[in-house]
Every structure is written in C-alpha cells, then in structure tokens.
Amino acid sequence: MIMSFEVRPLKDSDLEQLLIVQRAAYGDIYIETKEIFLTKLLVSNPTCLGGFIDGRMAGYCIGFNWQSGLPVPLHSDIREITHTENAYYIHDIAIHPDFEGKGLARTFMEQSIEIARSRGFKSIELTAVQSAATYWERFGYQPMAEAQGGYGAEAMRYQLILE
C-alpha cells in the first residue's frame, strides 16, 4: 500500500530521528554518527531528504554531488575528500521497518533522479548493501565494481545512466 509522506530537506533538528531510523534499518552495522551526518547536511542540504508521517521520520535519503567512480567510505567527512562533481551519489536510503513497502524508497529514488537531472548530471551512483542489489537493478542500476570503504563483502557499487 502506497502512503502519503511529507518529504522535505533534512534539518539539523532531524538528526536524532535519523539515527533511530538508521539503527532500526541496519541494526549494528553501517552505523554512522550524528556528527558524520551533520557534515553531509552541511555540504549537501537540500538534497538530503526525510520522509515523515505525523512528525515521525519514516525514512531518509542522503544524496550529494560527487565524483563518478570515487568510493565514499563509511564514517567519512566528505568535506575532506578531494573530488570533482560530475555525478550524483546516493549515500544512503534507509526506511524504518514500520514503513517498508509503502513507496517511500521509490519516492526518494524519483526525487534523486530529478535532482541529478536538474544539476546536469548524466548518472547516479550508489553502494548496494545487505543484499539490496536486486532492488536497485529493478530501477535500472548496473553494477560498476565491488564496494570499498567498509561496506562489507557483499556490497557492490552501482550506476544508473540518465537519458
């Protein structure tokens, strides 16, 4: 069942709820700190999005301008990584288990495509974790390379070429 979410750019004040969603979605793996998320907001807001229902965060999408093919290590302050902005990178889409299957991830994906196109990028890249590769392949993402930067053995980098 598709639900209607309020989707808006994240604010600093949303970070506590973001950490709750992150923990619920990933357990004890892939956990980044509030400080690391804040660095991503400082660099990329308004492209970091939250989906809310009645003030509760149901999920989030962290996306930013990046360099095609350049890994984004977990726990990194992206301000400290020299890069050329020639692609759009989705660092993380996490949905709280209470809201999985309700259409929020698709909404985030559609908005990320719009953002990338509006910025003139020809591709979107991401790292698929937790056996999510088949999910991304349904959207047309193609494998690029094994992931580096602490994502685990099964993680793969994917790319979507925008027409």
pLDDT at 80: 92
Structural domain spans, the chain: 6-161
pLDDT at 1: 58
pLDDT at 2: 62
> Average pLDDT by consecutive 10-residue portion of the chain (163 residues)?
84 96 89 93 91 96 94 90 93 95 94 95 90 86 81 84 88
pLDDT at 121: 95
The whole model's pTM is what?
A: 0.92
Tell me the C-alpha to C-alpha distance, in Å, between residue 2 and each of 99, 104, 106, 118: 10, 8, 10, 26
pLDDT at 30: 79
Residues 6+ apart with CB under 8 A from 100: none
Of 3.40.50.620, 3.30.420.40, 3.40.630.30, 3.30.230.30, the CATH number of 6-161 is 3.40.630.30
Please answer whether residues 43 and 65 qualify as being in contact, where contact means their C-beta atoms are separated by less than 8 angstroms. Answer: no
pLDDT at 163: 76
Q: Which residue in the block uniquely carries the two structure tokens 């949905």? A: 95
Q: Which residue in the block uniquely carries the two structure tokens 């902005």? A: 85
CA distance 163 to 54: 36
